[in-house]
Amino acid sequence: MNLILIGMILALLIPLYEVWKDDDIWQTMLAFSSVSTKTAVMILFISVLRDDWMIGVVGVIILSVGNAGFMLLAHILKRMGDT
Amino acid sequence: MIDSYVYVITALLPLVSCMLIFQVNPYHALVIRGILGAVTALTYTVLGAADVALTEALVGTLLAVVLYTVAVRSSMVLRLGVLKSAIAGGEAGDPQPVSFKQLTTDLQTVFSNHHMRVELVPYPNREELHQALVDKEIHATCHSSETCTDHQPYDITIRLPRLYDILRAELASSTAHLTYMSSSDSVSAHSSIHPSIHSSVHSSESEEAHP
């Protein structure tokens, strides 16, 4: 199980490298959405691993609310590009 | 007994914070702040503080980033007051408004290097334009000049010294005449202070006219 988690952490490094390398704001936003979803799924995985429902509920909330915040941020950035 | 993956997840935190610190573009930095919030929530959860992780995700990732984006968007902007006729003429395609369009493009290029936007604020006539500048509604005005229309068809009056310095140093293909207006409503003598800019602009204009 630890090996699966280490693999997930390595997958988390891919969008971080993309953020560090790329200059386009939308690439950064894509990396943000990727990191946000990956961390939420990791939280869910850890909650199953530890059989801890409290952590699981937090993971579900982060997964759903994170997408809402992402859409808000994308909308503000898009209006900035229009004007 | 702490599992080994906890150390690896915790090591992500300084990595992302260093990326945040060394980012110069404010919008990129805000998005990386969101990434930092996600990684922090993961770390808190792994260490067993689910309530702190929830707060971090809601406040750190959602609220702070969105509010700061609104703040940065509304503060890092040059409000340039223009006449309504200048904008309307640009759509008609007259030769002079084409150079106005070129001028606004140049301004946007200059200020995008400083991560700023240029927002055009239209006013019906020159009196209201000047009054808005005095009342500090706008940062600068741009209108067609009464004198020396051949070489510099536009006058830009700026009331903020920092913006004036940026424009004086970086507005390269200038068809505009820069003027700094101090807050005491006295227009300083621009042409005598910076004769070199005038001569260079004149020479480049004449080269274009007579190749």
pLDDT tens profile B17-47: 999 999 988 889 999 999 999 999 999 999 9
**Facing A69 at nearest CB: one of B41, B61, B117:** B61
**Pairing of β B154-158 and β B140-144:** antiparallel
Q: Is the ipTM of this complex over 0.90?
A: yes
Taking the domains of chain B in order of start, what are their residue ranges? Answer: 4-74, 76-209
Provide the 3-class DSSP secondary structure of residue B177: strand
Task: Specify the number of domains making up chain A.
Answer: 1
Residue B156 structure tokens: 């830009």
**Residue numbers of the domain that contains A32:** 2-82
Percent of chain A beyond pLDDT 90?
A: 36
Q: Which fold has domain B76-209?
A: D-Maltodextrin-Binding Protein; domain 2 (3.40.190)
Residue of A nearest to B9 (CA): A9
Half-sphere exposure (Cβ direction) of B97: Cα atoms closer than 13 Å: 13
Is the Cβ of A12 closer than 8 Å to some Cβ of chain B? yes
When the pLDDT of each residue in chain A is averaged and rounded to a whole number, the result is 87
**Short-list A40, A48, A52, CA closest to A8:** A40
Residue of B nearest to A24 (CA): B28
Q: How confident is the model at residue B148 (pLDDT cuts 50, 70, 90)?
A: low
pLDDT at B157 over 90: no
**Is there a contact between B57 and A66 (Cβ–Cβ < 8 Å)?**
yes
Q: How confident is the model at residue B195 (pLDDT cuts 50, 70, 90)?
A: very low
The pLDDT tens digits of the residues spanning B95-120 come to 556 677 778 888 888 888 888 888 88
Give, rounded to a whole angstrom, the gap between the first and last alpha carbons of chain B.
80
A61 contacts in chain B (CB < 8 Å): 54, 57
CB pair distance less than 8 Å for B61 and A66? yes
A36 contacts in chain B (CB < 8 Å): 34-35, 38, 61
Q: How confident is the model at residue B94 (pLDDT cuts 50, 70, 90)?
A: low
CA angle A10, A14, A15 (to 5 degrees): 130
CB pair distance less than 8 Å for B27 and A72? no
Percent of chain B beyond pLDDT 70?
A: 76
Sheet holding B176-180, edge to edge: B117-123, B77-83, B140-144, B154-158, B176-180
